[in-house]
Amino acid sequence: MPAPTSPSTSLPTSPPASPADLFRHSLRLLLAKDIPARVDLWAEDGVAEFPFAPDGWPRRLEGKEAVAAYMRHYPDHIDLHDFPDLHIHRTDDPHTVVAEMRGVGRLVQTDAPFDMTYIVVMTERDGRIVSYRDYWNPLAVQVPGADFAGSRR
């Protein structure tokens, strides 16, 4: 298993050079709560999928605008502090990586701890995210304060 990698807090000024760099950069932007810059990493026709999303939560977002709408209120609900245990794996496709990670922080509404494990399969094209399959635990959104997607609004 590869050594853990960190998203690091310094933001590069040049475009990411590899899918792994692009993924790490997207995490840095999420930690910085810079949602517009994170959305700018997406291709116009990019697709986000959440295969384990519970009823009432989106399972597929098509296009950059749909991703922007989904992510818009994320920092108002989940205050991420770190992505420990980040492992990024290359695949046979040079444009695709698989990431294993934890996101830790707190739920803004309740100040309760947030700790979720994820597996993400991300594909890039021309330095932009074109596919992002996020396998997260749907039980974690059943706690008050975790509903950033507005499924219960």
* Segment 73-132, tens digit of pLDDT: 999 989 999 999 999 999 999 999 999 999 999 999 999 999 999 999 999 999 999 999
CA 39 to chain centroid: 10
Range from 15-24, 61-70, 110-119 carrying the lowest mean pLDDT: 15-24
When the pLDDT of each residue in the chain is averaged and rounded to a whole number, the result is 86
- In this model, does residue 25 exceed pLDDT 90? yes
pLDDT category at 14 given cuts 50, 70, 90 is: low
DSSP helix/strand/coil, 136: strand
Token representation of residue 51: 């295969």
DSSP helix/strand/coil, 80: strand
8-state DSSP, 138: G
Residue 58 · residue 67 · CB < 8 Å: no
| Alpha helices by DSSP H, 6-147 | 19-31, 35-39, 64-71, 74-77
DSSP helix/strand/coil, 142: helix
- The one-letter code for the residue type at 104 is V
CA 8 to chain centroid: 15
**CA-wise closest residue to 95 among 118, 124, 59, 54:** 124
Would you state the pLDDT for residue 16? 65
- In this model, does residue 10 exceed pLDDT 60? no
More confident residue, 147 or 77: 77
C-alpha to C-alpha distances, 3 to 43, 86, 89, nearest whole angstrom: 29, 9, 10
Rg (CA), the chain: 15
